[in-house]
Amino acid sequence: MSANDQVEDVLNDDSNDPLAGVMRGLRAEYLGEAPERVREISAALGRLRTGEFGALDELQRYFHRLAGSGGSYGFPLITDRSRTAEHVMQELAATERPLERADFAVIEQHVLGVADAFRDAQRMFDQDPPQG
């Protein structure tokens, strides 16, 4: 192995980066909070089903926050699905009409999609052992 290859290996080795461990800890904490985030959006959907129309705005805010945070923590699927869900909530709110059964089914699919994205992120995180 040449000296250049050795230098490149050192530069690409996350174990030499103290921030990598910190970031891994933050990502673990973020994923640890995932069940609570999913409960929050599921509860908001439940309130929406009982006629609390303000829960649609709440869902939009939840999805907006997840769209921003997912990518920040290195989980782009959470961001993508949350952003799509956020836009759907905006479109439904803009109709200013009572929600129909089909609307609730669409919202539920987005909630489930975000929950699946969190599960996928956890699986990927678990398969990526800590460096060092």
Q: Among 6-15, 52-61, 79-88, whose mean pLDDT is lowest?
A: 6-15
- What pLDDT is recorded for position 6? 46
Residue 18 confidence (pLDDT) above 60:
yes
Q: Which residues, including other chains, have CB under 8 Å from residue 125's CB and lie 6 or more apart? A: 27, 28, 31
d(CA 77, CA 79): 5
- Put simply, whether the predicted model's pTM sits higher than 0.95 gets the answer no
pLDDT digits (tens, 9 = 90+) for 101-132: 999 999 999 999 999 999 999 999 999 876 55
Range with the poorest average pLDDT among 8-12, 54-58, 127-131: 8-12
For the domain 3-127, what is the CATH code? 1.20.120.160
